[in-house]
Amino acid sequence: MTATVRTLDVARVRADFPILSRTVRDGKPLVYLDSGATSQRPLAVLDAEREFLVTANSAVHRGAHQLAEEATDAYEGARADIARFVGVYADEIVFTKNATESLNLVTYSFSDDRFPYHVGPGDEIVITELEHHANLVPWQELARRTGATLKWYGVTDDGRIDLDSLELSPATKVVAFTHQSNVTGAVSDVAEMVRRAKEVGALTVLDACQSVPHMPVDFRELGVDFAAFSGHKMFGPSGVGVLYGRRALLAETPPFITGGSMIETVTMEGSTYAPPPQRFEAGVPMTSQVIGLGAAVRYLEALGMDVVAEHEHALVGAALEGLGAIDGVRIIGPTDNVDRGGAVSFVVDGIHAHDVGQILDDEGVAVRVGHHCAWPLMRRLGVPATARASFAAYNTLDEVDALVAAVRKAQSFFGVSAAKADNGQSGVSAAKADNGQSGVA
């Protein structure tokens, strides 16, 4: 029997996203290549949120009436769906307002002496130079508060973690790293990072914001201790993030935000706290957003994450080839399509990234420009800012062609070529490029 090979019906997918049919800038078709910042939402997600709000809106885990019961069932049902999507148990999923809060929850725990793995002077915290600020600044603050030492893996010239740049030691207590870079698109060797951490008894924290929406991800299989991702990058609502923590670890983790709903008992002398995940969800949660995120993961499951990954792999390959064929355009990150995700950053010689973005916008092509909340990485790679195209399941090869054509239009507009390029800085935004700030981050 011949195996059936699934392919993505992109036209059908696009029909599920009403915003993709709109026009921008004097009637040009929208080419949305900024899903790495925020993805668009399908009708299934919009409908799920609306259905909840018009039929069952109520506070969860409170009240004895039918609406409260229905709201709680929908909320916890979404938790179960999201847990299944990333291969873990429902009680290992904590809802936060975004991935940044999830990561701050974890870093805070390492400063609390109630946490068995808390750090102090003489201990080492290890991160990488590849990190988004959300997985960098909280660890800097942890080191400042506790007296622990912050160390990091460096980055190779093509934007991957340099595994030869650092040796862990018995003093290493936690290793935090990204699964996929939001700048270079490089996919980290999670197995090797986890192996090294376990060898010295350190815990691992994974920033999975750029991986969970785009490829099959199973946290249990990866072997990480904590992981964070956000709803708005994976066809879901803004205002909801997710923290995964191994069940045994969450049971030992103290609360981050305290108040109603997360308590077990309260007296005037003190309080005891509910078991996870409720311990970490103080107050009335973002119920409709969680329900929308549950709908988003069901939508992605129906597409098939292996199919989504294969489709995006083809888009990235086409973008690398198309942009790489333009004189004066330089890819910032791996130029081959191996262990690489859907973020393609580039610079155009002689034109500041912000100006590239403006011309692309005039052509209807939406990309992100700036330092991408990764200043140390940009400095390491020797660029103040880049333009970044990031792909999702609803993008097409025709849109890759539109991106390439718009970049050529930018070169033509500014009258630059590879021969004229000086230091990659010209145009109206060059004066803003002193510290990587182009007015858009």
- 């294969």: which residue's tokens? 310
Length of the chain (residues): 441
Q: How far is CA 31 from CA 264, 312, 407, 412, in A?
A: 50, 15, 13, 20
- In this structure, are 401 and 390 located in the same domain? yes
Residues 252 and 340 grouped into a single domain: no
- Choosing from 143, 373, 403, 430, the catalytic residue is 373
The predicted-structure confidence for 255-311, as pLDDT tens digits, reads as follows: 999 999 999 999 999 999 999 999 999 999 999 999 999 999 999 999 999 999 999
Are 76 and 193 within one domain?
Answer: yes
The yes-or-no answer on residue 209 being catalytic is no
Structural domain span for residue 36: 10-41+304-414
Domain count of the fold of the chain = 2
Based on the domain organization, do 77 and 27 belong to the same domain? no
CB-based contact 36:386 (threshold 8 Å):
no
Which of 285, 302, 319 marks a domain boundary?
302
**What's the pLDDT score for residue 6?**
79
Q: Which two tokens stand for residue 24?
A: 């921008």
Across the 441 residues of the chain, what is the mean pLDDT of every consecutive 10-residue run? 72 99 98 99 99 97 93 98 99 99 99 98 99 99 99 98 98 99 99 99 99 99 99 99 99 97 96 98 96 99 98 98 98 97 98 98 98 98 98 99 99 78 39 35 31
What are residue 32's DSSP bridge partners? 366
What does pTM read for this prediction? 0.93
275 shares its domain with 333:
no
Does residue 246 share a domain with residue 105?
yes
CATH number for 379: 3.90.1150.10
Integer Cα distance of 34 and 36 in angstroms: 5
Identify whether 361 is part of a domain: yes
Pair 235, 45: CB distance under 8 Å: yes
